[in-house]
Amino acid sequence: MTKLKALIATLAEDAVPVMRFPAPRRLVSLWLFIAAAGIFLFVAGMGVRQDLADNLRQARFVLELVAALATAIGAAWAATISALPGRPHWQKLIPFVPAVVWAGLLIHGTWLDAVPLRSDLICFPIIILLGTLPCVVLIFAMRRGVVLSPCLGMFFAVSASAALGYVGLRLVHPENAVSMILVWQFGPVVLLALFASCFGRRMFPHKVPDFLMRDMPFKRSAP
């Protein structure tokens, strides 16, 4: 009863009106619309690659873009789910399915591609540029919820945004050597997500009162 009274007193004194967290499907749809608009403006300003029409007739190129886009959407969904306690944990595995397909296509293509590796540093800043707005929007939305696994949530948020940046890059950058794409375009997506996950706790601080965190998980008293 003492703990319950303390909780009631804390809520009565410090509780403020809160907005209901948006439905994940609605939030991801809005995020995708905003991100796609930013990428469209970038592609329109830079101009599409001259061989885009020819590449769109190739199954591997189309499957690669679809897998990257599916990874972005799945990661955005997982990021949203991470801000809603009580959701099934298996839903956080959704983005890994298209990500494995995406990586598999690139690794298989590298096995068949004999083009030597060379530097292509322009890819990294473009992915960051295209992924910044989607990442900020997604993180801002997640902070309205309760992210109990902040590092994992940050990983998903950056993965989703960087994967979209990859899609935008492939539409403007005329690079078809699969080994180059794997290292200089897919590689930054993975590195950015892993690096950003280290800052998850700073980006998503706990919103649960300290005295409740000390008492969790609750233990059953002896009879």
Q: What are the residue ranges in the chain where pLDDT is below 70?
A: 1-22, 206-223
Tell me 83's DSSP state: T
SS3 177: coil
For residue 134, give every residue at least 6 positions away whose Cβ sits within 8 Å of its Cβ, in sequence order, or none.
31, 34, 35, 38, 160, 161, 164, 165
C-alpha distances (whole Å) from 159 to each of 70, 125, 174, 207 are 11, 15, 23, 24
pLDDT of the residue at 216: 43
Would you list the DSSP string of 37-66? Answer: HHHHHHHHHH---TTHHHHTTSHHHHHHHH
pLDDT of the residue at 20: 62
Q: Which two tokens mark 121?
A: 């540093």
C-alpha distances (whole Å) from 74 to each of 108, 130, 188, 201 are 23, 18, 18, 22
pLDDT of the residue at 154: 96
84, HSE (Cβ side, Cα atoms, 13 Å): 18
C-alpha to C-alpha distance for 186 and 198, rounded to whole angstroms: 20
Residue boundaries of the structural domains of the chain: 26-204
